[in-house]
Structure 1
Amino acid sequence: MSFQSQALSRIDVHAHYYSARYVDLIESEGCNCGACVKRDPRGPIVDVGPLHAGPLRPHFFDLDLRIAAMDEQRVSAQFLSLTQPMVYWAEPSLARRLSAVFNDDLVTAHERYPNRLFGLAMLPVHHAGEALGEIERIAKAPGIRGVYMGTCIGDMELSDPSLFPVYEALEAASLPIFLHPLKVIGMEDRLKQFFLSNLLGNPFDTAVAAAHLIFGGVLDRFPKLDFVLPHAGGALPFLIGRLQHGWTVRPELAHMEKGPETYLGRFYYDTVAHSDDALAYLIQQVGPQRVLLGSDYCFDMGYERPVEVVEKQAQLSAAEQEAIFSTNAARLLNL
């Protein structure tokens, strides 16, 4: 479809969705892989080891409630994505079926609201053969414009060569990768209390994932593959100077021809910073052309008024503001 500025003037690229069929499949077949679904009056609760989701309230499932919330937020379109527990805990066949069920439900959501809802597909990337088959199946599916991936894949970092065939296929298909924290550092020990696994673990895990993509040569090896970092890049924009200094003095980074600072502009970033000053700093660091509107719908850690967050950035021109609202996403996601 062609991009129409009036129809898609506020594009939210960070919005979470669970499909009932995905949860049902975990409930019926996931127990052999350690998954458990509890039916709570407030909504289903999904647990897979340390990964926990729920109670998942109706807004995660009900498309009509979602559209009403989008109207209230002044959001024209959302890109729907899964979050934990994703599928990396499942054996290959089940992981592929969980991905396919969720991706098919993304297509259904798009077909119901073709100008409002689009999808970021789930892939069983811990089994490259299954992932490649799913990429081939969904690459041209209606409404699918990118894929979603954890900041780590089980115990595998994003620089692991076993992921390279997946990256190659996504680059060839022009499907950008949106990252999201999943099994974050310290979530089972030092960050277990006080919701620190989210408050601190999420932004630092994003920085770790980005560092692996930089230092592991992924961005150089796949120059046309785009990566989007959640939560305004997490800790990365604030620690890039430390990474840069490390590159100048540490033998572990001697293989790098260019310093980490040169890669900061290779990523896209959403606006979920939870600080006007932090968002302003991000925009200053990477430029408004690399920033995308996001809400983290519909978690309590998300924005209820994502558009207003950008409108408060008084330093932005009208064109720069519009780039963050829609133009950047339209270009990246082929709208």
Structure 2
Amino acid sequence: MKIDAFCHILPARYAKEFFELDVPAVRNLRNRTRAIPALTDLGVRFRQMDEFGDYRQIINVAAPALEDFGPPARCAEFARLGNEGLAELVAAHPGRFAGFCAAVALNDVDRALEEIDFSFTELGALGVQIYCHVNGHPLDEPRFDPLWARLAESGKLVQVHPNRTAAWPDYPAESRSRFEIWWAFGWEYDLSAFMARMVFSGVLARWPGLKFLVHHGGAMVPHFAGRVGPGWDQLGTRTPESDKADVTGYPLAGRPIDYFRKFHVDTALFGAEDALRTVIRFYGADKVLFASDSPYDPEQGPGYIRATIGNLASLDLTDAERNAIYHGNVTRLLDPGASTAAG
């Protein structure tokens, strides 16, 4: 059994409103999204899924982040529309969809908490999908503390997705990122910076019940373990006294690297077997969840699923480790009612 823990979709009513919305973030993605039939066409999606046998997906609303849709009231409306659509898909096709993670707009925390409560209690969401920043603001700002408290209390998954755009330049002297560097490298920096802020600001220490699922295998962290480990053990030694505020954070009870290992991560590495091997060695098989990022592959659906399954088959894992990655870990992370739904 395989539960794909990070897949994107556009429910029908949400898609209709999404394609009619005239804001820069939507204009930027409209053509790309329309070119991927599996985001909206269930027939196409299900035919792709049939290739993989006993296989189901945990779905969420495809990018962009809701905060990019305009005023907070509009963002909240799209969150509700998306979540009701996701819930309908799961209810109508339980053999295809193991559950969903709710969309939430964090530019109004009070509204976000209302949507989270509605999605968890009325719609049965398994968790939420958030992005690495909110209109450029880091998520360790104090205004987000009620969010972390609520999510930690819930015990639900918190999927973390990157959201840098070409408007974030590669060099200070420039105004735009070129060659999609913002995506290829920038998204992995996005995720890594998010994790670091959650560690050093004390979010993880204050709310140890948080169940973060970081996309793309934990991004840069496992591949830069020397910097995250002995490098950050020397935090502050590179910073002059006049800038000590830059390195003053929450007092951690152990090494920074120990906190980075508290995250759960997925296998959405696009077929990079050596990278996946490093991810599993760094986090351990009990912290890695099977996920493909479908349908954003060159085949527009099955390519990354097939590649990831092939990677996991090739790696030197025990059957127990492989099964934990495929379905055991995500089932264990869900609350009792949700874990039953997920199989």
Range into which the TM-score falls when normalised by the shorter chain: 0.7 to 0.9
Q: Go from structure 1 to structure 2 and tell me whether the alpha carbon gap of 1:134 and 1:53 turns closer, same or farther (over 3 Å shift).
A: farther
Is the Cα contact below 8 Å between 1:53 and 1:84 reproduced in 2? no
Deviation of the 1:196 alpha carbon? 1.9
Task: State the alpha-carbon separation in 1 of the partners of residues 104 and 26 from structure 2.
Answer: 21
CA deviations on 1:56-100 (whole Å, 9 max, x unpaired) are 422101223222211213451101112321211221111111000
1:325 aligns with 2:326: yes
Offset, 1:308 = 2.0
Give matches, 1:1-335, under 5 Å.
Answer: 9-28=1-20, 30-31=21-22, 34=24, 37=27, 45-46=29-30, 53-74=32-53, 76-89=55-68, 90-117=70-97, 118-183=99-164, 187-189=168-170, 192-244=177-229, 245-250=231-236, 252-253=247-248, 255-257=250-252, 258-273=254-269, 274-300=271-297, 303-305=304-306, 306-313=308-315, 315-334=316-335, 335=339
Whether the aligned pair in 2 keeps the contact of 1:20 and 1:61 (CA below 8 Å) is yes
Secondary structure in 1 aligned to 2:138? coil
What's the counterpart of residue 3 of structure 1? none
Instruction: Give yes or no for contact 1:106–1:143 (8 Å, CA) kept in 2.
Output: no
* Matched positions, count: 313
- How many angstroms does 1:259 deviate by? 2.0
Deviations 1:92-111 (A, max 9, x none): 11111100000001111001
CA separation of 1:140 and 1:211: change in aligned 2, threshold 3 A: same
Q: How far did residue 187 of structure 1 move? A: 4.0
Which stretch of structure 1 is more off in the superposition, 97-106 or 14-23? Answer: 14-23
Q: Deviations over 1:237-259 (max 9, x none)?
A: 12243133234241515643322
Shift of 1:130: 0.7
Secondary structure of 2:159 counterpart: strand
Letter in 2 for 1:248: Q
| Percent of paired sites with the same residue | 26
Task: Give the Cα separation in 1 of the matches to 2:182 and 2:124.
Answer: 32
Unaligned runs of 5+ in 2: 237-243
Shift of 1:179: 0.4
- Stretch of structure 1 that moved more, 138-147 or 10-19: 138-147
Alignment deviations for residues 248-307 of structure 1 (CA, whole Å, 9 cap, x no partner): 241515643322211132111111224211111111111100001011100126614032
Please, what TM-score do these two structures have when normalized by structure 1?
Answer: 0.86
The 1-side partners of 2:118 and 2:24 are apart by 28
Equivalent position of 1:41 in the other structure:
none
CA contact (8 A) 1:293 1:326 kept: yes
Q: What is the distance in 2 between the residues matched to 1:231 and 1:107?
A: 25
Structure 1 pair 212/240, CA: closer, same or farther in 2 (3 Å)? farther
Listed one character per residue, the Cα deviations across residues 125-150 of structure 1 (whole Å, up to 9, x for unaligned) are 12101101101111134452011011
- Are the structure 2 counterparts of residues 56 and 82 from structure 1 closer, same or farther at C-alpha, using a change threshold of 3 Å? farther
Offset, 1:34: 4.8
User: For residues 114 and 69 of structure 1, do their structure 2 counterparts lie closer, same or farther at Cα, with a shift above 3 Å needed?
Assistant: same
The one-letter amino acid of 2:330's match is A
Q: Unaligned 5+ residue runs, structure 1?
A: 1-8, 39-44, 47-51
Quickly say closer, same or farther: Cα 1:24–1:253, change in 2 above 3 A: same
Q: Is the 8 A contact 1:26 1:35 kept in 2?
A: no
What's the C-alpha RMSD, in Å, of the aligned pairs?
A: 2.3
SS at match of 2:234: helix
Helix, strand or coil: the match of 1:163? helix
